[in-house]
Amino acid sequence: MSRPSIVTALIAAFSFVVPAGAQVRQYTPPGGAANEAAGRKEALEQAVEEARWHAGPVRLDPAFWISDLSYVDNGEEGADADVTARAGLGLRAYLPVGSKTTVAAFALPEYVWWKERADERRLNQRFGVGSFTYFNRLSVEVTAERLEDFDYATAEVLQRVTARNERLSVMLELPLLRKMALFAAGSDASFESLAEGDALDDFYSDLNRQDLAYRGGVRYYPTEKFHLGAGVGHSETDFAEEAADRSNSGDFWYAEVGYERPKLGIGLSYQQNELAGEPGSSFGVFDGATGSVRIAWRPRERFGARVYASRALAYSLLVASDTAYVDERFGAGLNLGIGHRLGLDFFAETGSLAYEAELGGSDRVDDVDSYGAGLTVELGHRFNLRVGYRRTEISSGAGLPARELDEIQGSLGFGFSGNSGTWY
């Protein structure tokens, strides 16, 4: 069985979700998540409790960091290796309102530095505000964010650029019966490339777009830590005037399972999509599945293992005749604790970028392989140091040159988790 079919078979066999969302995930970072919070409610409660400063009822938590200090070599002819880093300083604020609601905000700007690529040095804005209410099984979340993040815009091109992501999200879960609840969620988001230089700007601006998605369904809770769910939804994507038009819309149905225990966590997803291009759009038809599987096992406090798989739709930049591709990944990882302050993480994964004729593609398949390792050192007083290495290899199925990326990474931070989840 080929690697893409292994991933598809695994997802189809489980066919469930951690809540289904919009169909497109433009970039899938290698490695899966080494550590994940049990849930937003628990993570938010912990963040409020551990906030360093109190100003009356307001909890304030400062953060500063030097992250992604990286030596980057993508192996392209004529492209020299370079050194880059991010440095940031900011604040999170939490205001408990009664015992069930927390109003939260963050301002975490950061500076992106390149040693040679001076025109890509910039100060990125990162801020947001939200309200979170949790009462028994009643949940209401309303968030608004503006994140200018320095990351890969697409898995096809192994080059980091800054992009602005703005999002307004609403989520509601309402108890229906003793073990059932109604669930509804919606988001309105935009993507805008902030890549500098005429060539880069013209290239990445083809991804500029507005995404609207909403969904609703039911959830069943056999136990407090285990739930099943299913529902339907709709999504619409409108590309900006300067972008290659791949505007599309359509419906989907989804199913989900979530299970979280101290030694075992399972998130299984399946989403069946029916998308079609709008008049004048180059987007064809996507009548297929997306989803994810993640199983994390932690038999001891200092040892954990995970397996994961995902299948997502993404918009293409690499070849003019391809409008979109299906990104499939399958991988595994290990976490090892050494003493009380050192942690090692290893991962290896394989997958593919499949350009399908129904999406206006060339029916080619590019194989993707990634592996890496990282060492985290807890320095005390919420300081942490991380160093790591990651390699990604993409071999083309259409006679295009292979792409390779080597990254040697390091970060030092206080009150900073290193991810884009900026609420806690």
pLDDT, tens only, 179-206: 999 999 999 999 998 887 655 667 888 8
Assigned domain for 294 exists: yes
> Where residue 401 sits, what CATH number does that domain have?
2.40.160.10
DSSP string covering 42-70: HHHHHHHHH-SEEETTEEEEEEEEEEEEE
In degrees to the nearest 10, what's the CA dihedral of 46, 48, 52, 58? 180
Confidence check: pLDDT of 263 > 50: yes
| Domain assignment of residue 38, given as a range | 3-414
Residue 184 to residues 172, 212, 281, 370, Cα–Cα distance (Å): 5, 14, 30, 36
* 13 within some domain: yes
Q: Which of 17-26, 125-134, 320-329, 337-346 has the lowest mean pLDDT?
A: 17-26
Counting residues of the chain whose pLDDT is more than 90, the rounded percentage is: 48
Strands 365-380, 383-395: pairing kind: antiparallel
Chain centre to alpha carbon of residue 197: 27
Name the pLDDT band for 408 (thresholds 50, 70, 90).
confident
Q: Is 418 helix (H, G, I), strand (E, B) or coil?
A: coil
Report the domain count for the chain.
1
Q: Cβ atoms within 10 A of the Cβ of 405, count?
A: 20
Residue 284 falls within a domain, yes or no? yes
Q: Note the pTM of the prediction, 2 decimals.
A: 0.83
29 or 102: which leads in pLDDT: 102
Tens of pLDDT, residue by residue over 154-164, are: 888 888 888 99
Report the alpha-carbon distance of residue 113 to residue 70 in Å, rounded.
11
Is the pLDDT reported for residue 52 higher than 60? Answer: yes
Task: Answer yes or no: is 346 within a domain.
Answer: yes
Q: Is residue 77 part of a domain?
A: yes
For residue 366, being part of any structural domain is answered with yes
Cα–Cα distance between 186 and 177 in angstroms, integer? 23
Residue 325 has pLDDT above 60, yes or no: yes
340 has pLDDT over 60: yes
Does 63 map to a domain? yes
Determine, yes or no, domain membership for 378.
yes
**pLDDT tens-digit readout, 29-46:** 888 754 444 467 888 888
Residue 339 tokens read as 């003493």
Burial 251-275 (b: 16+ CB within 10 A, else e): ebbbbbbbbbeeeebbbbbbbbbeb
